[in-house]
Structure 1
Amino acid sequence: MGLKPLIQSLLRQNYHITHPYHRLRLRLGSLRSQDKIVIYQMSKVGSTTIWKSLEALNLDIPIYHVHTLRHEQISRAIERDKTNFPKLRFMYPETIHSEYLRSQLDQKNIINPWSVITLVRDPVAKILSSFFQNLERELLLGLDYRKRINAEGETKVLQELIERFYQEQVNNSRRKHPFEWFNFELKESLNFDIFAAPSLSKRNYYVYNSRLARILVLKLESLNDSYQSAFQEFLGLQNFNLVQANVGLQKRYKSLYKSFLRHVNLPVDYLDKIYQTELVRHFYSQSEIEQFYQRWTRY
């Protein structure tokens, strides 16, 4: 057996080899450049597409993809990956990336400001997509639910999912607004308050500057119209192309997801709670918010 297959075999067998191996790999990779491109955003906003598109360019700058840089969240993710390793036989790259970048922040080891890319998305669409991704990881939607639909019928399974969504999201007063992510993450980790900076509501993207990072913020809804000019301005990339990845309607649970979106009926007071906030108005214009309402309101 060659060296590479041997290493891959060991990485699939032993968490205590896999974890330090990937940490070392990131440290060695960072030696080739003092610059960093960090895709840092809440989940389910199209970030995997940006990540894979940049990786396809084979740039000389390390690229990282993270959802959190908070100590507590990173510790939970590491413990989750460790617990699930015997079944999954891998660690999520985001976990290793988060751990490494957090150590850079803690050591104040930032020579050049990071190039940070983050995205926003219709918050209700983000909530629905996150709900299904969590179910996929928890219940193996694409496998178990196909069997249940065949045995019990789609109507019963859909009703169960809708009731669960209401319990966990619509009727759960403890749920934070998705855009609080910018306060919990960007503000705490990079000391940048986006809500004190110029609004994105009348723009498709904007580049913010702070001591620790240059930050490109994009709207997912207008990404196809703005990504080329945005990445040319931000990273100097010419003819940058997107590689679609991790799209919910292309996943193994896509049929169930489509049915869920057709049948879930979101109360207006719930939509008001999500959309009628300064958090949303900072990123979206009134006309854009009205379009979101129209998407989710059934007459």
Structure 2
Amino acid sequence: MKRIISKINKKISIIYRTCYYHKLKNKTIIVHTLGKVGSSTIYEELKKISPWKNIFHTHFLSNEWLNVKLKEGNHYESNYKAAKKVFSYLDKNSDKKKYIIALVREPVSREISNFMQNPKDFIEGDILSESLDSLKNSYLQKLNYDYTLNWFDTEFLNYTGFDVYSKPFDKDRGFSIYHHDDFEVLIIKLEKLNECYSGAMKEFFDLNLKLSGNSNQSSQKEISNIYKELQQTIKFPKEELSTLYTHKYISHFYTLEEIKQFKEKWS
């Protein structure tokens, strides 16, 4: 009986989603963005409401990254699979317009989150067996912001042909929508995601959507205590932060007040 009821509820859910979210049907939606910027949250939110299996989540789709920068080793195997899935779908659904959602995040926070999510890129042993000082040293020795600061200039530009820096970004609202060739592009600032998500989805898809939760957050996992301690104790020289926060990635997406707060937080 429970199995029957479950099947009935599943069919009802599909019928409801098919009717209520019909505006998503003829779209190919790709959450294509930097890693560790909250993209899993948006991907999961959209995936659960669409019955058409037209929602994808990728970090790399350009030839430069897939065929050159990521060609060595199997560390990025999941990225290759995700890209292959998108290309296969696009080949069969070339008539559908592509809707790209990308996010940005303040680079220091993003790099710490990446460290906690991918510790094997920084240390050889188990992250839970390392002391806080040891983790900090390992992190600082391999810290590099190139991926974060240059992703839009390499990966995003090469795949979409759209230079995000050529158009203004609404720093106060926290999101902007752009039209470029056969792409519709939505860029959201992670720090504003909770307050602007509904407005952004309304303008982008003409749907009333709400954000129900966060996915894939290190602060919710077994290493949450270490993550919090690193966030609280890692500090940088003011000169180093001043150089970092003058990069066009920062000045394009963040207000002067936000930049000031970032400097105060990490110095």
**Matching residue of 2:41:** 49
Q: Which runs of 5+ in 1 are unaligned?
A: 1-31, 83-90, 150-156
CA positional deviation for 1:182: 0.5
**Matching residue of 1:154:** none
- Contact 1:70/1:102 (8 A) holds in 2: no
Quick one: which amino acid aligns to residue 246 of structure 1?
N
**Matching residue of 1:18:** none
CA positional deviation for 1:262: 2.0
Distance 1:51 1:108, change over 3 A: closer
Q: Deviations over 1:215-261 (max 9, x none)?
A: 01111111111101110111122143333211121122111111222
**Matching residue of 1:296:** 266
Q: Distance in 1 between matches of 2:75 and 2:140?
A: 28
**Matching residue of 1:211:** 181
Q: How does 1:1-299 map to 2 (within 5 A)?
A: 35-60=27-52, 62-71=54-63, 73-74=65-66, 76=70, 80=74, 92=78, 94-102=79-87, 110-135=94-119, 144-146=126-128, 148=129, 157-169=131-143, 175-176=145-146, 178-297=148-267
CA positional deviation for 1:193: 0.3
CA positional deviation for 1:59: 4.0
Q: Distance in 1 between matches of 2:257 and 2:122?
A: 37
- Contact 1:78/1:95 (8 A) holds in 2: no
Q: Distance in 1 between matches of 2:158 and 2:188?
A: 20
- Contact 2:105/2:191 (8 A) holds in 1: yes
- Please give the secondary structure, in 2, of the residue aligned with 1:164: helix
TM-score computed with the length of structure 2 as normaliser: 0.80
Q: Distance in 1 between matches of 2:252 and 2:65?
A: 26
- Please give the secondary structure, in 1, of the residue aligned with 2:158: helix
TM-score computed with the length of structure 1 as normaliser: 0.72
CA positional deviation for 1:273: 2.2
Q: Distance in 1 between matches of 2:209 and 2:61?
A: 31
- Contact 1:207/1:234 (8 A) holds in 2: yes
Quick one: which amino acid aligns to residue 168 of structure 1?
K
- Between the two proteins, what is the percent identity of the paired residues? 28
Q: Aligned pairs, how many? A: 242
